[in-house]
Amino acid sequence: MGRLALGFLVALTGCGHTTSSATASSYPGTFGLASATQRADATLRATFNGPTSAHLDLVENAKSSGATLTAYDVDMTKQLHMIVISEDFTSFQHVHPMLGADGHFTIDLTVPAQGRYLIYADAEPHGLGQQVFRFDVPFGSNAAATPNLQPTPKTVSAGPYTVTLSSLRLVARQPATLTVRVTKAGKLAGDVQPYLGGAAHAVFIGAGDDSYLHVHPMAGPATASASMDMSGRSEERRVGKECRSRW
């Protein structure tokens, strides 16, 4: 079995590359959806302003013609979702570059520490369907790191909130449903708000092959309870292998 690192986001109210100034490098994208057809190619250009900061410029081109893609459909309120994860799986960011008229998505990104980062670009070019690309980008000069996959409990705390998953184990290509409960002071939290059009977002990354899965839970009967259908029939984005999740 492989292992998965899970980054989970709930919106709550009340709560080996040495860089120098303006060093630029380009990185080709690796297509990241085994269940979909690759209809585009992608390139990420990073202009480093220091060991932990860079200006990112992403462009996708139609695979059939090479033409720069300029039209993207809105998905979960955004035209591009970018997931940034450190190689040791201790850092997670979910950001949204802005699309220019020339078809380039740009954003200024700062990471918490030097090291290699996995950057996933998840978008839907108009008429081509969902396309996900992974970029391996080194920030600074730190050596490669191995994923930190220490077992964690089903329940964790974030400020005044307690988040509980119904299970930490998933088997690829087999139906499964995870239930997420958010409580505050021992009761279901009443101030949970939708984030980017969903009750919550869950991102799974395969520690062995950097595979990618992004799901959006369905709100349950209580405002602070939601379920994720992992059977492949819901709005999920998957690269499936038999894996165990560790969150």
Comparing 25-34, 70-79, 235-244, which segment has the lowest mean pLDDT?
235-244
Q: Are 225 and 190 in contact (CB under 8 A)?
A: no
Q: Does the pLDDT of residue 236 top 80, yes or no?
A: no
Q: Name the region of 219 (left: φ>0; alpha: ψ -120 to 50; beta: rest).
A: beta
Cα angle value 179/181/185 (rounded, 5°): 165
Res. 205: pLDDT tops 50: yes
Q: What was the pLDDT predicted at 129?
A: 94
The pLDDT value given to residue 33: 84
117-121, 213-217, 231-235, range with greatest mean pLDDT: 117-121
Q: How confident is the model at residue 219 (pLDDT cuts 50, 70, 90)?
A: low
Say how many C-beta atoms besides its own lie within 10 A of residue 212's C-beta: 23
pLDDT band at 103 (very low <50, low <70, confident <90, very high): very high
| Type of residue numbered 11 | A
Q: Note whether 120 and 44 are within 8 A (CB).
A: no
pLDDT digits (tens, 9 = 90+) for 52-65: 999 999 999 999 99
Region 99-114: mean pLDDT is: 97
- Can you give the pLDDT at residue 224? 54
Q: What is the distance between the terminal CA atoms of the chain, rounded to a whole angstrom? A: 16
- Grade residue 211 by pLDDT with cuts at 50, 70 and 90: confident
* Statement: residue 225 has pLDDT above 70: no
The number of angstroms, rounded, from the C-alpha of 186 to the middle of its chain's C-alpha atoms is 30
Average pLDDT over residues 35-54: 95
pTM (predicted TM-score): 0.77
Closest residue by Cα to residue 128 from 192, 76, 48, 68: 68
- 147-202: per-residue pLDDT in tens? 878 888 999 998 999 999 898 888 877 878 888 888 999 998 888 777 777 777 78
The Cα–Cα gap between 157 and 178 comes to 18
